Structure formats: C-alpha cells, structure tokens
Structure 1
C-alpha cells in the first residue's frame, strides 16, 4: 500500500496541486477527512482555511477534532473511518503532548500504513517525522528542542516557516545533532509531498536543504 505524506511549512491553505493530489487520494477512500488541531478561541471560523481548497475540488465531509477537549476514543474512532487526515498548526509542544504522546499517534500511524493521506501544517508537519525538531522561535524557553515525533518518515529533519523565521541557524543545529539525516527548510505557502517516505514533489515558495554545509534552494 502506497503511503502519502504532505508537509507544509506554514498554516493553511493547501497549495493548488497538493490540494488536487490530496483530494484525488481521499476520494479513493470512504469517509470524511478528519482535521486534528489544538483548540483555541475562534477555531470554527478558521477551519475553512483548511477545507475550502478541498471543497472546491469535490470533498465535502469533514470531522473537526479539537484537542484536548475531544475524548481520545472519539478521535481514534473518527481517524479509523477517515479518508484523509489533516494535522493543524499552532504550539508544537502542545501537538506533541496531545497527539504524539497519546494513543492517537497509533491511530494516525495505522491510517498512514493503510494508504490514508496525511497532511501536516507547521506544527503538524514538525511532529510527523521520527524526530520533532522545535525552533527556539516556537517555544516559551526560546531554545532548540527535540522531541519524539510520529515516525511517519525517518532520517528526515524538518524546519518550518524557514525564511520567515530566518531559521537557518536552527536547521544547522538540527543537522549537527543528526548529521546522517536528510534536512529540509520549508517556507510558508510551500509543501513537500512524500510518497512511500521519499520526496516525490515540491510546490510553492522556497524549500531549502543544507548539503555539505551549504544552504541550497531546491525548488
């Protein structure tokens, strides 16, 4: 079964071709698309940013799963019956706490292994690999942090909001810690699509990688 992972360097919306690919894959499955996100005031008004591009292309059923207020068992049931999963953005440590460090992670991994497309935006992208690398700009301690990720892909390091946060130093620090890993700095309004854990397509603004110590733009 092919495995599909979309990692966005910022918040929604989907870029056009990634939206088309996500919808194409989701329509092969049965059920709504589930959107996992850390709850905050006004979230109902924000959801169309995730969904509108998908609705325009033919998807029209969604499960909204705010965390931590949605019971874990309900989340897992929804994920099991989903045709696609979107993991939103926000405080990355909260996403690690409420998703990676709970049994919700097992449901996401099971869905991914069954070919359900997974899309992560910003924090959702950061928790997707084996290692969740958190920028000093993304935590209250303003320090480089490394936490356990979902492990949907391994040997890959991700930095988000890359140009917008001027985060080359952060990516270099991650590479120095995990020198054998492939690394990507993804800008806002940019996405990498991984097919079976390998980079397949890039779209949008800048996507960068440190190669032999030199920062290269890939797209």
Structure 2
C-alpha cells in the first residue's frame, strides 16, 4: 500500500518558512534527499537560498540537495536527472518562465519519473510555474505567456479536476481563473497568493499556510 501523497503549491515566494519546513519534514528532514528542478537564468546560483534556506535550517544536508537545471540552450543531462529524481525523497519544481518549465518538465522522461515518485509517497512541491504544472489541465495567465494571451495546456497530472492560479492577487487573476473554469468545464479553482501555500494530501485539500490567502472559486452546476 502506498504512503500518503503530499503536494505543496507555493503561490509565488518559495522562501516561506512554515511551508518550506513542512515540505522538508515530509521529505525526511535530516535524512532528506531533495531534487530541485529549475531552468537556466542568469545568476541562478544566487537565487538558490530562496529555496534551500529553510530546508537547511531544518536539518537537510546541503550535499543532499541536488539541482537539476537546463543549460543556456535548454539542454538537460538526462542520465544525471533520472538518477537524482529516482533517489530523491522530495522533489521541488521551481519558478520562472512557465512555458520553458512546461517544455522541459512535463515531457518524458520527467513526467513519468515525477508521477511515479508522487504515487509512491514522495512529497512534491512547486513554486509559481512549478505549482501551475502540477495539474492535469494547466491554465496560464495572459501575464505569464509569450503571446500575452491565456493558455490551457497539459501538465504533470498529479491533480485532476482543479485549476490553479498563482500570484493571484498580485496579478489580479480572478477573471482569468473564472474564464478558465468555464472553458474547461472544471468546477473548482484555487488562486494562491505570493505569500501562501496550498497543501494537498492524497489529492484533497489538506491545509493552507503562509501570510496571505488561498482563494477558492467554484462554478455552480
């Protein structure tokens, strides 16, 4: 029988102490091996502590945090990535350009690797782009796309029958989320503020953490 599955969805800031510590503990605390999935950006190394600071303070060893990142041409060392993910006790998908994250991490081999780990009880977390891509159906805000138009695309499929919106209040994304629900026929959407984290346990809402809010939008039958 599989262990409980946990999914941590950060709305915009990956450096939320309570949520970061909760994820690290579920990943094994001092025994955790965390795979951090990112895409290349200038100065990415300087950005790492925003993810890792509270993990390390909670006892995760720096040597057991393994970064998977594309190079400047979008290429990934797949053999290294597969080894890291398969040995991980927690997976965190970072934030940045969502369409690039989508192109890399919702494709194979990553999609199956991540799904298999999630289904075996390894906690998965995502910030901003990483949170958006966790669902079967992904709604992108016009603010978040190259053509400045809302998009509906396929995600990792860890959660079904919900839509997620990130940077919800900051991006004033309520109307986009409502239109996405009506267009897809999905009945419930969650708008996650930058300083908030929505946690699912066994694909059901478990808790809300952070200094801001998770907004729930439901479409009536």
CA apart distance, 1:20: 2.7
Q: Counterparts of 1:181 and 1:202 in 2: how far apart (Å)?
A: 20
Number of equivalences = 212
Could you say what the CA RMSD is over the residues aligned between the two structures, in angstroms?
A: 1.6
Consecutive unaligned residues in structure 1, runs of 5 or more: 214-219
Q: Select 2:215's aligned residue among 205, 208, 212.
A: 208
CA contact under 8 A between 2:86 and 2:117: conserved in structure 1? yes
2:104 matches 1:98: yes
**Residue 11 (structure 1) shift:** 3.2
1:2-43 CA-partner distances (Å, limit 9, x unpaired): 111000110321x33322321221117965201001111100
Name the residue aligned to 2:134: 128
Post-superposition Cα deviations, 1:156-201, rounded to whole Å, max 9, x if no partner, equal 1000000000111111111111333321011101010000000000
Give 1:166-181 correspondences, 5 Å limit. 166-181=172-187
Equivalent residue, structure 1, for 2:9: 7
Look up the match of 2:34.
33
- 1:54 equivalent in alignment to 2:61: no
Q: TM-score, normalised by structure 2?
A: 0.91
Note if contact 2:197-2:208 (Cα within 8 Å) is conserved in structure 1: yes
5+ residue gaps, structure 2: none
Give the Cα–Cα distance (whole angstroms) in 2 for the partners of residues 23 and 112 of structure 1. 15
Structure-2 separation of matches of 1:31 and 1:212 = 39
2: distance between equivalents of 1:100 and 1:43? 21
